Amino acid sequence: MADKVIPLADQRYVARVPIVPLNAAPPTGLIGDALGRPLRDLRISVTDRCNFRCSYCMPKEVFDKNYNFLPHASLLSFEEITRAARLFVAHGVRKIRLTGGEPLLRKNLEVLVGMLAELRTPEGEPLDLTLTTNGSVLARKAQALKDAGLQRITVSLDALDDAVFRRMNDADFPVADVLAGIDAAQRAGLGPIKVNMVVKRGTNDHQIVPMARHFKGTGTILRFIEYMDVGATNGWRMDEVLASAQVVERVQAELPIEAIAPNVLGETAERWRYVDGGGEIGVISSVTQAFCHDCNRARLSTEGKLFLCLFASHGHDLRALLRGGHTDAQIAAAIGLIWQQRNDRYSELRSAGQAAVGAESGARRVEMHYIGG
């Protein structure tokens, strides 16, 4: 049998090797970008692979058996991820979310969770450490993740109806297994669990109220996400977006809800609670209500590229620095410089009808499974 060919370098997205400034001051934790936004939230993609083929993220026609996923040597190691995370914490990051692809497919992920759980803020506090998963293997892994120090978990689930769910994940995966994963996470103490439902008009919007009914009163927070135009492969069309305002209207008509204040600045979800005390839901209006003005999120791709916006078309190659013999102080200074120059606000520009400007005309946008949600 022929040996498997492993590409030496993956050039799928343009990445710049960051400038390492000379004599930069150490991080203060108070850095702001060009629009004055702090750096608080780091999303780390630990794999570009997934066992689902959700059409809005990894459509089967593109991500088939011929698709070249990243070779193992391209991936940041757990040590490299933890080192980078420590430098981001020095710059003010307080929340780390592991994502993917499907993060639970990364071997020994609980080891990474354990390493990240040991990081401390300059004030000596642990980080808010969480993970987003499709839930497919959660029933098996929930307890080990909790034991390793994971605090909370978000599970993506687009429908309760088994046939609709199987069609949406396009891997014929049954809904019962994801629900069992949510139960296991609850028992392991990974709550309050958030469940994310991407709403596609005409595909699963009839599942909005059944999903709300199912999770009402369970302590699990259901959040409805507007279907976004991320990447370049999902064939996004505005007429398949159901605006959050309409989602709220549909829930309201059956189960009375009222708006509540956000927990923290920069929170993406608008919160609503059931009037009868049955808990809360959220809506994330990435398309109809841009929240770029307080976006404090950075994203680290599976192969160590730093992306400053979900809609960016180029990253900054931190792996080159991590593997290039640079000191922590040098890499921290490079990250600081990148963040200070950040002026991304794609969703706001899209709303203003200037998306082409924000999307860096002509360049291919990064895919969601590669940088995570």
- Say which amino acid occupies 81: I
Among 47, 74, 99, 151, binds ligand SAM (CB under 6 A): 99
347 makes contact with ligand SF4 (CB under 6 A):
yes
Which residue of this chain has its Cβ atom nearest to ligand SAM in the complex?
Answer: 373
198 makes contact with ligand SAM (CB under 6 A):
yes
For ligand SAM, how many residues bind (rule: CB under 6 A)?
21
- Say which amino acid occupies 211: M
Nearer to ligand SF4, 45 or 220 (CB): 45
Residue partners of 334: CB distance under 8 A and separation at least 6: 18, 19, 20, 21, 318, 321, 326
156 makes contact with ligand SAM (CB under 6 A):
yes
Residues numbered 27-56 forming contacts with ligand SAM, rule: CB under 6 A: 50, 56
Q: Cα separation of 324 and 318, whole Å?
A: 10
CB atoms closer than 10 angstroms to residue 5: 8
Quick note: the x/- pattern for ligand SF4 over 137-166, rule CB under 6 A, is -------------------x----------
227 makes contact with ligand SAM (CB under 6 A):
yes
CA distances from 37 to 64, 93, 194, 291 (A): 39, 12, 26, 12
Q: Which stretch binds ligand SF4 (CB under 6 A): 181-189, 242-250, 308-316, 323-331?
A: 308-316
Residue 300 beta carbon to ligand SF4: minimum distance, rounded to whole angstroms: 14
Q: Which stretch binds ligand SF4 (CB under 6 A): 67-75, 86-94, 251-259, 291-299?
A: 291-299
CA distances from 162 to 172, 173, 176, 233 (A): 9, 9, 8, 26
Q: Cα separation of 254 and 36, whole Å?
A: 41
Q: Cα separation of 266 and 338, whole Å?
A: 20
Quick note: the x/- pattern for ligand SF4 over 50-79, rule CB under 6 A, is x-xxx--xx---------------------
Burial class of residue 1, CB neighbours in 10 A (0-12, 13-18, 19+): exposed
100 makes contact with ligand SF4 (CB under 6 A):
yes
Phi and psi dihedrals of 235, rounded to 5? Answer: 60, 35
134 makes contact with ligand SF4 (CB under 6 A):
yes
Residue 161 beta carbon to ligand SF4: minimum distance, rounded to whole angstroms: 17
Q: Which stretch binds ligand SAM (CB under 6 A): 19-27, 128-136, 289-297, 331-339?
A: 128-136
Burial class of residue 311, CB neighbours in 10 A (0-12, 13-18, 19+): buried
**The tokens of 349 are what?**
């520009």
Q: Which stretch binds ligand SAM (CB under 6 A): 14-22, 201-209, 222-230, 340-348?
A: 222-230
Quick note: the x/- pattern for ligand SAM over 232-271, rule CB under 6 A, is --x-------------------------------------
CB 185 within 8 A of CB 191: yes
Residue 26 is given by DSSP the state P
- Residue among 199, 198, 158 at smallest CA distance from 179: 158
Residue 89 interacting entry, from ligand SAM, ligand SF4, none, C-beta within 5 to 8 Å by type: none
295 makes contact with ligand SF4 (CB under 6 A):
yes
132 makes contact with ligand SAM (CB under 6 A):
yes
Give SS3 for 315.
strand
Residue partners of 21: CB distance under 8 A and separation at least 6: 333, 334, 336, 337
Nearer to ligand SAM, 74 or 154 (CB): 154
Residue 71 beta carbon to ligand SAM: minimum distance, rounded to whole angstroms: 20
Burial class of residue 232, CB neighbours in 10 A (0-12, 13-18, 19+): middle
> Which residues make up the interface to ligand SF4 (CB under 6 A)?
50, 52-54, 57-58, 100-102, 134, 156, 291-292, 295, 297, 309-311, 344-347, 369
What does the binding site for ligand SAM look like in residue numbers (CB under 6 A)? 50, 56-57, 99-100, 102, 132-134, 156, 196, 198, 225, 227-228, 230, 234, 368-369, 372-373
